[in-house]
């Protein structure tokens, strides 16, 4: 069995916007073994009438950043497969 390890770095920024509630932005960065870098970004905004629980914004923004990163990685995989096979690729499942 061959094992590989890829690491994703998450950076979270919180901004207080007064009457608009706080806003959170997360960036999920991945550098592939081939040297490509992908960065997914996700946002969350707290409604001013909701209680201040920063972890919730962190989690939601991070989940959205990871989803964005996931979509980018799938698109990169499709491009790599198409370049390798010289034909259109449709991923299923």
For the residues 17-26, what does the mean pLDDT come to? Answer: 82
66 falls within a domain:
yes
49 falls within a domain:
yes
What is the number of structural domains in the chain?
A: 1
The 10s digit of each residue's pLDDT in 2-15 is 998 999 999 999 98
Across-strand partners of 31?
A: 37
Position 18 pLDDT exceeds 70: no
CATH number at residue 31: 3.30.160.240
The 10s digit of each residue's pLDDT in 23-75 is 999 999 999 888 889 999 999 998 888 888 889 999 999 999 999 999 999 99
25 falls within a domain:
yes
Q: What's the pTM value of the predicted model, to 2 decimals?
A: 0.86
Range of the domain at 64: 8-85
pLDDT of residue 54: 82
Smallest CA-to-CA distance from 64 within 39, 37, 44, 38 is with 44
2 falls within a domain:
no
Smallest CA-to-CA distance from 14 within 68, 67, 75, 56 is with 56
């Amino acid at each position: 069995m061959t094992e590989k390890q890829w690491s994703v770095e998450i950076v979270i920024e919180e901004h207080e916007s007064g009457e608009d509630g706080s806003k959170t932005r997360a960036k999920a960065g991945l550098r592939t073994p081939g040297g490509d870098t992908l960065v997914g970004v996700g946002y969350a905004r707290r409604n001013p009438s909701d209680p201040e629980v920063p972890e919730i914004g962190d989690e939601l923004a991070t989940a959205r950043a990871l989803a964005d990163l996931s979509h980018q990685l799938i698109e990169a995989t499709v491009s790599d497969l198409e370049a390798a096979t010289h034909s259109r690729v449709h991923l299923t499942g």
